[in-house]
């Protein structure tokens, strides 16, 4: 009985990265008070997915990126597949390089996130532009959103650290550490 409970608890803990990514989707979708449509807010979803893709690639696989993207598109009213494609393109940057990246100093890791987000935003911008018949979307809000997300991203590590400890021992797909 205790064994079954432990197994269930372990299984539940292993879902935490995905659950926290879905919570980030909710945060991105929630109508924030005092939020004018042109106000810019940091995007929680790329920050959380980047965090888990580096820390727990065994639990946060490309399939997780795809699911998170599809949920965000479906609930957010974007063309279905846009965010999934953007997240997967960004994930390709870190996929298989997790240990190398984690060994870098924090400033370089921040730079890696800036690149990750640039790919994510770039793909979304292109796909939405193509969707609207090769119509170039305004770049101003996009740049604002990019800068604010990059500047807030270093706070995400300490926020997710308790969850990370709860998920358990760091175990990479490439082997445990």
Partner 1 sequence: MARAAARSPTSEDIRRLLWQRRLRLWWLLLRRVLRRFAILSGAVLCAVLLVAAKLDIALVRFVQARAGDAAALVLDAVRLPLAAVGRLGETVGEIVAVWRENRRLEAENRRLLEWRREAIRLSVENQALRRMLAMPTVPMPMRRTAARVVADPGSAFAHTRLVDAGSERGIRVGMPVMDDHGLVGRVVAVGRWSARILLLLDSASRIPVVVEPSGDHAILEGNNGPHPGLRFLPLEPRVEVGDRVLTSGAGGLFPPGLPVGEVVAVGERGVEVRPYADWSRLDHVVVLDWRPLPPPPADAQPAPPVAVPAPAAAPEAGT
50 vs 125, which CB is nearer to partner 1? Answer: 125
Is residue 103 classed exposed, middle or buried when 0-12, 13-18 and 19+ CB atoms within 10 A define those classes? exposed
Nearest-approach distance from CB 9 to partner 1, in angstroms:
25
CB of 62 to partner 1, least distance (A): 4
Q: How far is the CB of 166 from partner 1 (least distance, A)?
A: 22
Of 33 and 106, which CB lies nearer to partner 1 in the complex structure?
A: 33
Token look-up 């990370």 returns 164
Which residues are near partner 1 by CB under 8 A?
Answer: 26, 28-38, 40-41, 43, 61-63, 65-66, 69-71, 74-82, 84-85, 88-89, 91-92, 95, 124-125, 127-128, 131-132, 135, 137-138, 140-142, 144-145
Encoding tokens for residue 43? 């995007």
Q: Are 45 and 18 in contact (CB under 8 A)?
A: no
Q: What backbone phi and psi angles, to 5 degrees, belong to 16?
A: -55, -45
CB under 8 Å to 166, separation ≥6 — which residues? 13, 16
């Amino acid at each position: 009985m205790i064994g079954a409970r432990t197994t269930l608890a372990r299984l539940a803990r292993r879902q935490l990265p995905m659950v926290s990514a879905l919570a980030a989707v909710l945060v991105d979708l929630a109508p924030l008070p005092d939020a004018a449509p042109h106000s810019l807010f940091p995007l929680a979803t790329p920050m959380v997915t980047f965090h888990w893709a580096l820390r727990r690639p065994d639990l946060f696989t490309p399939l997780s990126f795809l699911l998170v993207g599809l949920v965000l598109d479906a609930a957010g009213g974007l063309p279905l597949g846009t965010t999934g494609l953007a997240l997967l393109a960004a994930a390709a940057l870190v996929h298989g390089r997790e240990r190398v990246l984690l060994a870098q100093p924090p400033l370089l890791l921040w730079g890696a996130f800036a690149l990750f987000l640039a790919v994510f935003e770039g793909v979304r911008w292109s796909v939405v532009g193509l969707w609207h018949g090769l119509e170039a979307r305004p770049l101003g809000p996009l740049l604002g959103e990019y800068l604010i997300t990059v500047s807030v991203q270093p706070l995400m590590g300490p926020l997710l650290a308790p969850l990370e400890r709860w998920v358990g021992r760091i175990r990479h797909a490439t082997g445990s550490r």
